[in-house]
Structure 1
Amino acid sequence: MTGLRKLVGPFTPDLGMLFARLTGAALLLHVHGIPKIVHYQEELAHIDDPLGMGRALTLWCALFAEVFCPVLIALGLFTRLAALPVVFLLAVSMVLVHPDWSIAEGQFGWLLVIVFGTIALSGAGRYSVDARLAGYALAR
């Protein structure tokens, strides 16, 4: 194990989680969250309502999952909890809103499910507010 640790470095998994958090959050914000804020009225008129909650509540839930949660995830604050609404929103979108999409057509959505599902399962890693709050040091 010592030789392998020297080969890959002591912080590789934590750097990987930092990379996944920052890039996944930035991508979700850029592609989905910010456009929904900028074009709120158009989004409200066209958003699907697969759970029957009403368009306004559905849009606010989407904004929560695509704007507020990615910010928390990027910071590494309440990371696992913040990833759950994102995974739920994406799963609802892929299964209920776009069930006719092939894997190729929905690959972006499924890849986001994989990224944020991994974050939900793995946590933020050492380079996060969560780790700081738990008292972890950056170097052992």
Structure 2
Amino acid sequence: MHLFKRLFLSIQPIALDLGLLIIRLSTGGLLMQYGFQKMQKFGEFKSAFPDPFGLGSKLSLVLCIFAEFFCSLLIALGLFTRLALIPLIINMLVVVFIAHANDPFSEKEHGLSFLFPHILLFLTGPGRFSLDALLFNRKGKKNISSFVK
């Protein structure tokens, strides 16, 4: 039972931090590509981009690019992670519940596949392998790894 518990029921701090790193790099890297594509096609999209809050298509596109490219870059680096996650979570909520509100679940699934990891990272923080940890962890300050043994 001890071996089973150690292998399957406990989370080692290094495994947790590696898992958070993988989530940050994968979601940040993948979503950055969408933001980059929108930047490249800015001229085409600026007048026809969805405007769910009445801010204008151009500003809505700029906000989307800011979240998907620049905030995703910060997530991948693990820099200002929780702050950068706020626009990303809002962006994915808009994608899922406003832009694709009347679409079938298969259209919402893509946005949800980014939303849930973003919520997870917001709750846990970026982990030990991040610029946040390197720059802002002071002695005695606890991170999630210190609670999981």
Query: Which position in structure 2 is the counterpart of 1:94?
Result: 96
Whether the 8 Å CA contact 1:126–1:136 is kept in 2: the answer is no
Asked if 1:75 corresponds to 2:77, the answer is yes
| Identity level (%) | 35
Q: TM-score with structure 1 length normalisation? A: 0.88
Mapped partners of 1:14, 1:97: distance in 2: 34
Mapped partners of 1:58, 1:13: distance in 2: 36
Secondary structure of 1:65's aligned partner: helix
Query: Which position in structure 2 is the counterpart of 1:118?
Result: 120
Secondary structure of 1:11's aligned partner: helix
* Poorly superposed stretches of 4+, deviation over 3 Å: 7-10
- The residue identity in structure 2 corresponding to 1:20 is I
RMSD: 2.4
How much does 1:100 deviate?
Answer: 1.0
Mapped partners of 2:56, 2:13: distance in 1: 49
Instruction: Flag structure 1 segments of 5+ consecutive residues without an equivalent.
Output: none
Higher Cα radius of gyration: 2
Q: TM-score with structure 2 length normalisation? A: 0.83
1:29 to 28, 32, 38: 32
Instruction: Flag structure 2 segments of 5+ consecutive residues without an equivalent.
Output: 140-145
Asked if 1:65 corresponds to 2:39, the answer is no
Query: Which position in structure 1 is the counterpart of 2:54?
Result: 52
Mapped partners of 2:50, 2:68: distance in 1: 16
Mapped partners of 1:45, 1:29: distance in 2: 22
Query: Which position in structure 1 is the counterpart of 2:19?
Result: 16
**Could you list the per-position Cα deviations for residues 112-139 of structure 1 after superposition, in whole angstroms to 9, with x for gaps in the alignment?**
10111111111100000110123369xx
Aligned residue-pair number: 137
